[in-house]
Structure formats: structure tokens, C-alpha cells
Structure 1
């Protein structure tokens, strides 16, 4: 469609440049081309609205599925809050992960590696990562 509109506009441009007496014909052709462009734009906007509505419906369906799948579980149920001793950032760790072994958790703020052995023991270890990275 756009290729045809470009050809029409090139034709109008040629009419204007080639023969100054054909201004009326060129203007009418230009107006016809603009009408087609407006119609095409209206079609695109209508399609965009349809797609936005569809995405909203899919999002609502996904939210319903998440509620059905996860139930009314508290988002933080089963999580242990660990505070980074370097920067004070709160990091959530799944208690199942630390039930048997110690784990290493990277602080998202200062990139300190936290070794978590149980809910009360936290040992900071510097990672080799530059601290200026956010």
C-alpha cells in the first residue's frame, strides 16, 4: 500500500515540476492520495485498538490463571529476609534453598556475595565485581 502511495506522490511531484499549468490536476491527485493515507491510518488505529483490547484480555486471563495456580499464597511466604552487612539492602532467600546447605547470594545493590548457612548466619565476601555497577 505504501509503495503505491509513494508512486502517486512521485507522480504529483512530477506534474508540478514538469508543467506549472497542471497545478489543479496535481492538487486533486494529491488530495486523493491524502484521503487514501487517512483511510489507511484509520484502519491501522482501529487495528491497534483491537490489539490493545486483546492484550488487556490476555493479561486479565493470565492474572486469573496466576491466582488459580498460586492461590492466595503470601508472596513472601517461605522467604527469609537477609540484610546485606555492607550496604543494608534487603535480599529475600527461599528457606528451602538454605535448608540443607549453605548458599551464596549476590546483593543486587553492592554486589557483595553473601554466604547464608541458616536464617541467622550471614558472611559477606567481596565479589570481584566493580561496585559502581548498578
Structure 2
């Protein structure tokens, strides 16, 4: 039962009681009924405004999501501009700091194998060179006595 329906029911009860308005109690009951009727109307108006604002917030939230996708190009947290750049959960990730803007970029092996990429923040070309890298096998200290 809505608040307005409850108030109408209460008003009907008071009318059925034939409250004597010449007594102090009768005057108080009629006055309380009038005040409650005004409060019900005020609450109904506030509820309508809240519903309207909630709908507006939902629309603005959806629009903001569209703007974020367009401006920040949020494609599943991909750091490169290529659409075919998908990271698997099993890929080992590397962090690279752009020397120009200082932005930290997440990379996987496939991006490193390409040899270079543009920084998504400033557009600086970042190059990766494997020629100078030496990968050492981890040996147990016991195996060095051979």
C-alpha cells in the first residue's frame, strides 16, 4: 500500500469517527491529519524528483562510459594501439618506463619480439634490442663441481 493510499484510509477512519472539532482532542486530531496529508504530498514530490535524478544519473554514467572508452581507448587493458594485441593470462608481463613521458607500459613477449612500439601516452617510439642480452641458466651450487 502506497503512502497516499494509507493517508486516504486514515482520513476515511477519522471521517467515520465523526471527531468533535469543538474539543481539544478533536482539534488536535484534525490538525495532525492535515499536517500528515501535507507531509505525504511533500514526500511523494521528493520521491518523483529522486526517481528523475536517478534516471538522469544512469544516463550520464552510460554517456561517461562511452566517453572514457573513446578518449582512453580502453580495450581490455591493452597497452598498444593494435587491435590484434591480446594478452593471455598466461603471458609473462614486463613493465617498461617511457624515457620521454615516464609512463609505465605493460608488455608481453609478442610486443617485445616486434622490436619496437609507440608509447600510447606520448607517441615516442620505444625500441627493444635482444642482441645485448645474455640469458644465464640457473645452476645449483652442487652442479658446479663437475
Name the TM tier (shorter chain).
0.3 to 0.5
TM (norm. structure 2) is 0.39
Higher strand content, 1 or 2 = 1
TM (norm. structure 1) is 0.42
